[in-house]
Amino acid sequence: MTKVKRFLLAGFIGLLIGSAALAGPVSTAVRETAEHIMSKFGRGAAGQTIDEIAEATSKVVAQYGSDAIPFLRSSGHQGFAALQQAGTKGPDVIKLFVRKGGEAIWVISEPKKLSIFLKHGDSAADALLKHPGIADTLIGRYGDDAVGALNSVSKQSAQRLAIVADEGLLTATAQGTELLPVIRRYGDGAMDFIWRNKGALTVATVLASFLVDPEAYISGAKKLIVDPIIGPIAQGTNWTLIIAGVLGIVFMPFVVRRFAKARSTFKENNREVG
């Protein structure tokens, strides 16, 4: 046998021995994981046996590596479902668990949240965890801009952002959504200013002037000019009719009393004549 053949044979035998040595611990870990899932989460919606869970676990470990084991132990059947929903982005789900630990399970356990994470990435997961119940809706509506804004503000500011969004501030004008990058850049200071001026910012001209130099307005160096908006409204109002209506309401009781008194006098005069 030549030296080359002996070398190749030795390498092949070493590979077989190494594979056999690894197979034991991996198989043991897979089996223990399956037993843990069964004990903690039960048989699942599909009513799986331990052998079926072990087989599914083995496939996941083969595809995603050893990090999948602690992920499955924490997430159970929801973990399998999340990886199936993620498809080619399955590794991102595992990485999220590695980065966030048990918190990640809250994101991947609900299809809507998982879908947001898969579409918008780690920053979206951070926003979902930071502002639960708020981030889902805002990111669903406004995408990455909402992700950036939410990750830059406190809980109170996120609540205010949700309120002004529901009130229509972000859709009141063509540039409304451009407020989100401003919030992302200037954080709570921007949201505080927007909250105090949410009415004025629904007007396109006022919003446009703010977006040109938001920092100046947020810092107080500039003030929003609202008078040009109020002026045309005031000029377009028929104050004569309004004043006449107010006066009519104020003096109506007096007019009614005079009318009643005159009617009573008229009736008495008629009786005397009769």
Domain assignment of residue 28, yes or no:
no
Residue 61 has pLDDT above 50, yes or no: yes
Domain assignment of residue 143, yes or no:
yes
Domain assignment of residue 204, yes or no:
yes
Domain assignment of residue 154, yes or no:
yes
Domain assignment of residue 219, yes or no:
yes
Domain assignment of residue 207, yes or no:
yes
- Residue-wise pLDDT for 3-27, tens only, equals 545 544 444 444 443 443 334 445 8
The per-residue DSSP string of the chain comes to --HHHHHHHHHHHHHHHHHHHHHHHHHHHHHHHHHHHHHHHTTTTTT--HHHHHHHHHHHHHHH-TTHHHHHHHHTHHHHHHHHHHGGGHHHHHHHHHHHTTHHHHHHTSHHHHHHHHHH-HHHHHHHHHSTTTHHHHHHHHHHHHHHHHTTS-HHHHHHHHHHHHHTGGGSSTTGGGHHHHHHHHHHHHHHHHHHTTTGGGSHHHHHHHHHSHHHHHHTSS----HHHHHHHHHTS-HHHHHHHHHHHHHHHHHHHHHHHHHHHHHHHHHHH-
Out of 115-119, 129-133, 195-199, 270-274, pick the least confident.
270-274
Rounded distance between C-alpha atoms, residue 149 and residue 243, angstroms: 47
| Residue range(s) defining the domain that contains residue 202 | 135-236
- Residue-wise pLDDT for 157-192, tens only, equals 999 999 999 999 999 999 999 999 999 999 999 999
Rounded distance between C-alpha atoms, residue 191 and residue 153, angstroms: 8
Rounded distance between C-alpha atoms, residue 80 and residue 75, angstroms: 8
Domain assignment of residue 217, yes or no:
yes
Mean pLDDT of 222-249: 54
Please state, rounded to an integer, the average pLDDT across all residues of the chain.
83
Q: How many domains, in total, are found in the chain?
A: 1
Rounded distance between C-alpha atoms, residue 72 and residue 93, angstroms: 11
Residue 199 has pLDDT above 50, yes or no: yes
Residue type, 243: I
Which residues are within 8 A (CB) of 221 and not within 5 positions of it... i.e. 6 or more apart?
Answer: none
Domain assignment of residue 188, yes or no:
yes
Quote the pLDDT of residue 226: 75
Quote the pLDDT of residue 257: 63
Residues 128 and 109 sit within 8 Å (Cβ to Cβ): no
Name the band, by pLDDT with cuts 50, 70 and 90, for residue 231.
very low
Q: What percent of the chain has pLDDT over 90?
A: 70
Name the band, by pLDDT with cuts 50, 70 and 90, for residue 42.
very high
